[in-house]
């Protein structure tokens, strides 16, 4: 009776709100819905004044800001996460799209500032303060303050709160640009009263009828000191990377570095490749990756093949020092010596870069050599890869790729309280420490196991970042972008073959629970169901369909999607809170995105709509609770 009532409620809720969805168009406007969720329709600006207008701003300026946020020079974690899987060509395409939108501005909001404050603001903007080496804003932003191509934004039509926030960001270092950072120097010369005066005056000015930015930077007045700004650099034309001739050994090593995604961990956002210093957070503190370029003072310039092999196979540095297991030598230990030598040859071919190692910041005693010795005694011993003679060469290659080179178990294997992988539960899934994302089981058909029906979907996800029922997000987006999309067809098929064999021969205790033995999902109350269905219609249906059918090639289906009804809903919650784009891949260079809902929906509403998704269209899963959402929201905020 309860199951019948539950199905009836779902049917009523789904049909009651089955309004006509906006037609789907395969264009940039559709893709940019991940941005306009905060920045307003067509990038006109968010309703709260915090998210600025994007429409009509110079493309070079927008591109530089996207790059600065993605690479950490301008701090906003929510947007940085959204942009993380996107490359420079796509960032430029986004900038050009919004720049090309020529839309009218709303009238300014009346000011309550005193005449004296407004006069002071006008003076700073139009004349500056030579005594303090403060140039007028008009010097770069134009006499009409509408900006200049290709990189200087307009200052009018922006809310005062936003202007205050940006000047405050420049003054405190929360906002930075490529050196020389002229705006940082200017903002730090402003007093708090200067900022109040300038922003009051700017926010009160109407945008002129001709709001287009100047075609070029204004001509400097005689006797005016010219500023040289790093963010004034015009983005270089986007061309294909030059293909250089490499020896067979170096080319093999370059491919292996791709398979292992070495560049991701050994490169800071926006930094030079393989120079290290990327922060790797663990429950025991923060480790920082090392410089792998052949610099003799700070990198691998004085290392030998044997030194490098010792690091991979034994987890020891050149001087015998024990390495932190944040470096996955626990998987690399089984790498074949020939592959280690090829990888070293590739790293030695890189241009040397002087980048000293940043010392780890681990809580005592975890970073000490004594603690590492004890940990290794309990949880590590060097291994060699043992091929299974009863299996095909392709199967063994897949096993080697999954367990060694790609080190999938580092995320997909649960860990104990000391951070060691529980090898008896290899690839059975678990929460990734410190990240709040679930790496689902690769053995279970109900999680991320690869049976015959799902083989093509798995391979498509690894190659493109997207399949009919999944989009790579969170840590997996990084893996696809930096590693699996670059696998050759033989290796991709070998991984599929190996994973499929694991799913077919999994331990009976890991097999799927028959549908007739699944516990009945608790039916949502009628009022909650109505509210949840309304939320889904308002925020989700245009992309994922009123029946959860999704849109082929753009947005995954939710109906019958095993990622939706995983017992642990962490990934669903994370995706809803933070949104995100699928990774840019060679096969999908302009992926679709999902807007973050953490600012527009409260925890109770997110829990409601996700519970609805987990129980609609035949899905059967337990509801998501408000505390589930709150826990992950607070977890991210505390990082």
Average pLDDT on 65-76 reads 90
Average pLDDT on 313-333 reads 96
Q: Which CATH superfamily is domain 526-637 in?
A: Cytochrome c-like domain (1.10.760.10)
Amino acid 335: pLDDT: 98
| Whether residue 546 has pLDDT greater than 90 | yes
Sign of CA dihedral 187, 192, 194, 198: positive
Please state, in angstroms and as integers, the Cα–Cα distance from residue 507 to each residue in 33, 391, 446, 565, following that order: 43, 19, 14, 22
Average pLDDT on 261-277 reads 95
| Whether residue 10 has pLDDT greater than 50 | no
Select the highest-mean-pLDDT range: 101-105, 226-230, 518-522, 602-606.
602-606
Amino acid 150: pLDDT: 83
Burial class (CB in 10 A: 0-12, 13-18, 19+), 262: buried
Residue with tokens 């308002």: 538
115-220: CATH number: 1.10.760.10
pLDDT category at 409 given cuts 50, 70, 90 is very high
Burial class (CB in 10 A: 0-12, 13-18, 19+), 639: exposed
pTM of the model: 0.85
Average pLDDT on 575-603 reads 94
DSSP three-state, residue 148: strand
Amino acid 638: pLDDT: 58
Please state, in angstroms and as integers, the Cα–Cα distance from residue 357 to each residue in 274, 279, 602, following that order: 12, 11, 42
Residue 515's contacts (CB-CB under 8 Å, 6 or more residues apart) are 620
Q: How far is CA 40 from the centre of its chain?
A: 22
Sign of CA dihedral 21, 27, 31, 35: negative
Amino acid 18: pLDDT: 45
pLDDT category at 558 given cuts 50, 70, 90 is very high
Residue 505's contacts (CB-CB under 8 Å, 6 or more residues apart) are none
Domain boundaries, the chain: 115-220, 248-351+362-379, 393-507, 526-637
Please determine whether the domains at 115-220 and 526-637 fall in the same fold group of CATH. Answer: yes
Residue among 614, 605, 469, 610 at smallest CA distance from 531:
605
Residue 311's contacts (CB-CB under 8 Å, 6 or more residues apart) are 317, 318, 323, 327, 329
Instruction: Classify residue 222 by its DSSP letter.
Output: T
Average pLDDT on 162-171 reads 87
Select the highest-mean-pLDDT range: 78-87, 129-138, 383-392.
383-392
Identify which has the larger pLDDT, 230 or 390.
Answer: 390
Mean pLDDT, the chain, as a whole number? 88
Which residues does residue 581 pair with via DSSP β-bridges, in sequence order?
593
Amino acid 227: pLDDT: 62
CA distance 555 to 593: 9
Identify which has the larger pLDDT, 313 or 451.
Answer: 313
């Amino acid at each position: 009776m309860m199951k019948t009532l539950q199905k009836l409620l779902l049917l009523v809720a789904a049909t009651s709100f089955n309004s006509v969805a906006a037609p789907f168009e395969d264009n940039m406007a559709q893709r940019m819905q991940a941005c306009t969720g905060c920045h307003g329709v067509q990038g006109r600006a968010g309703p709260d004044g915090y998210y600025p207008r994007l429409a009509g701003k110079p493309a070079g300026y927008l591109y530089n800001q996207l790059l600065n946020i993605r690479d950490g020079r301008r701090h906003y974690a929510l947007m940085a996460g959204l942009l993380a899987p996107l490359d420079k060509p796509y960032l430029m395409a986004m900038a050009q799209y919004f720049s090309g939108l020529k839309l009218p501005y709303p009238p300014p909001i009346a000011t309550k500032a005193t005449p004296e404050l407004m006069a002071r603001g006008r003076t700073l903007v139009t004349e500056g303060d030579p005594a303090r080496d403060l140039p007028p804003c008009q010097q770069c932003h134009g006499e009409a303050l509408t900006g200049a191509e290709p990189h200087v934004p307009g200052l009018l039509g922006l809310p005062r709160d936003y202007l205050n926030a940006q000047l405050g960001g420049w003054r405190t270092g929360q906002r930075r640009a490529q050196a020389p950072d002229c705006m940082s120097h200017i903002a730090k010369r402003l007093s708090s009263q200067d900022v109040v005066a300038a922003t009051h005056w700017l926010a009160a000015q109407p945008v002129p009828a001709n709001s287009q930015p100047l075609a070029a930077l204004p001509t400097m007045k005689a006797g005016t000191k010219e500023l040289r700004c790093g963010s004034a650099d015009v983005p270089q034309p986007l061309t294909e990377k030059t293909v250089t001739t490499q020896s067979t050994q170096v080319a093999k090593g370059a491919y292996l570095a791709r398979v292992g995604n070495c560049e991701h961990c050994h490169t800071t956002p926006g930094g030079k490749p393989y120079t290290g210093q990327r922060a790797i957070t663990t429950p025991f503190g923060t480790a920082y990756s090392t410089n792998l370029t052949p610099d003799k003072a700070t990198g691998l310039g004085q290392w030998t093949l044997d030194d490098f092999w010792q690091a991979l196979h034994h987890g020891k540095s050149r001087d015998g020092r024990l390495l932190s297991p944040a470096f996955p030598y626990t998987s690399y230990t089984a790498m074949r010596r020939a592959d280690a030598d090829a990888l070293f040859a590739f790293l030695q071919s890189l241009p040397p870069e002087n980048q000293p190692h940043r010392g780890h910041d681990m809580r005592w005693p975890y970073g000490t050599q004594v603690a590492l010795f004890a940990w290794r005694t309990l949880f590590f011993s060097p291994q060699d890869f043992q091929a299974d003679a009863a299996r095909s060469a392709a199967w063994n290659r897949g096993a080697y790729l999954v367990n060694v080179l790609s080190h999938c178990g580092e995320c997909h294997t649960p860990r104990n309280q000391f951070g060691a992988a529980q090898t008896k539960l290899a690839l059975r899934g678990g929460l990734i420490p410190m990240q709040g994302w679930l790496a689902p089981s690769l053995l279970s058909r109900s999680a991320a196991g690869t049976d015959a029906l799902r083989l093509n979907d798995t391979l498509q996800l690894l190659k493109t970042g997207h399949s009919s029922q999944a989009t790579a997000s969170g840590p997996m987006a990084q893996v696809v972008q930096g590693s699996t999309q670059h696998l050759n067809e033989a290796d991709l098929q070998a991984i599929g073959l190996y994973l499929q064999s694991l799913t077919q021969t999994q331990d009976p205790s890991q097999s799927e629970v028959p549908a007739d033995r699944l516990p009945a999902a608790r039916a949502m109350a009628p009022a909650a169901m109505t509210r949840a269905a309304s939320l889904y219609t308002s925020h989700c249906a245009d992309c994922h369909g009123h029946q959860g059918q999704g849109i082929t090639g753009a947005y995954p289906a939710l109906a019958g999607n095993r990622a939706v009804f995983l017992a642990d809903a962490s990934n669903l919650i994370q995706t809803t809170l933070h949104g995100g784009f699928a990774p840019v891949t060679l096969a999908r260079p302009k992926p679709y995105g999902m807007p973050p809902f953490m600012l527009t929906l409260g925890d109770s509403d997110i829990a409601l709509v996700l519970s609805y998704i987990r129980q609609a269209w035949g899905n059967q899963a337990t509801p998501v609770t408000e505390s589930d959402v709150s826990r992950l929201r607070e977890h991210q905020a505390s990082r």
